[in-house]
Each structure stands twice: as structure tokens, then as C-alpha cells.
Amino acid sequence: MQRARPGTFLRVADLATHLHQRHAVEHALSRLAASDAPIVRARKGLYYRGVSSRFGKTRPRPMEVALEVTRGAGAGPAGWSALRALGLTTQVPSVDEVAVVGAAPTGVDGVRFHVRRNPDRLHLTFDEIAALEAIRAWPTHGESDAGALADAVRGLVGEGRIRPERLVKAAHREPPGVRASLGQLFAAAA
């Protein structure tokens, strides 16, 4: 457990090979978290291997915990967090916002979950979800004009971090305003 690389999450369920070992693994991780070892409890059944410094143990960011809890499937930044992920704002949200497909996880401090009912999001990357959520939040959350949003999305398409065909497919199950904005964005790029 202590040989895990810094920045690694440790799941009790993954470390316990048999059901009867779960309690022992949980107990061992709990003891490590209480000691000087660079392990901290992120959530029930989930621990984080950080580093120790003179300032104490490093902790994962709330967004990292949220993505680990959801295993990244269909999860990504929402609201101000999405705009920040795309470099469209200097605002640092007091609470990270994360969009998830299905039920929102519980027990994650510092995160506000937004439930989305679009199963096509399960096939999107972090950046693609950030783009959809930024488009969704744009007029009320934006600090600059819509051209900056379009430039950011097109830039990520150019870098290969956003696949336009996946984004367009997922947009078919999004609210009409998101579909229209995304269509205008890609029409202007053509």
C-alpha cells in the first residue's frame, strides 16, 4: 500500500481479494491514514496515496475524488468548473461542480453533483463533457463573449481532445439550447 505511487487512489474493494479480507484491509488503511504515512482517507472505502511534506500530507482535490468515485464514466466538470477546465474563466469555484450520468454519489466533500440523464455521455471524455457543460452554462456563467467558448472548443478539437462526432451524437439527448449552440459552433467552424 505504501509502495503505491503518489497521486494514486486505493480502493478497499480492489485490495481485498476475498470478502472476508475487506475488514482487515479497511483497518490497515485506516491505521496508515492515522499514522505519519502519506495515506489519507478520501471517502468510505477510498484512500489516497499522497506525499508527506513539512506542511503535512497532501490530499486529493475534490474533483479528483469525484472522478475516482464515478470511475470517470460519464462524469466531468459542470458550471464554473467546466468553464475553468476550458480556460474560459479565472474564477475558482468554492465548490467543484461535477455532472454525472445516473445517481449522484454521496459522501464526497467539496463537490456539487448535477445529474444528467443522457447515456451517450458515458462515451465522452473529460474535455468533451466540459464542452457540453460549458455550452449549457454559457450565458449565465460566462465572463467573455460566446466567441471565446467557440474558440476554446475548436482548439480542443484541433488538439484531438474533443471528437466532434461524439459531441454531436451526445448533444441529440441534451436540451434544445445546447443542441442549437453546438450546431452553430460547428457550423461556424466549417
Q: pLDDT tens digit string along 50-93?
A: 888 888 888 999 999 999 998 878 899 999 999 999 988 888 88
Give Cβ neighbours of residue 108 (< 8 Å, ≥ 6 apart). 43, 62, 65, 66, 69
Question: What pLDDT is recorded for position 162?
Answer: 92
| Domain segments of the chain as ranges | 8-57, 62-189
Structure-model confidence comparison of residues 16 and 156, the more confident one: 156
Report if pTM > 0.85.
no
Q: Using an 8 Å Cβ cutoff, are 67 and 113 in contact?
A: no
**3-state DSSP call for residue 159?**
coil
Three-point CA angle 127, 11, 16, nearest 5° = 145
Residue 155 is placed in which grid cell? 482548439
Question: What pLDDT is recorded for position 65?
Answer: 92
Question: What pLDDT is recorded for position 147?
Answer: 79
Residue 98 predicted with pLDDT over 60: yes
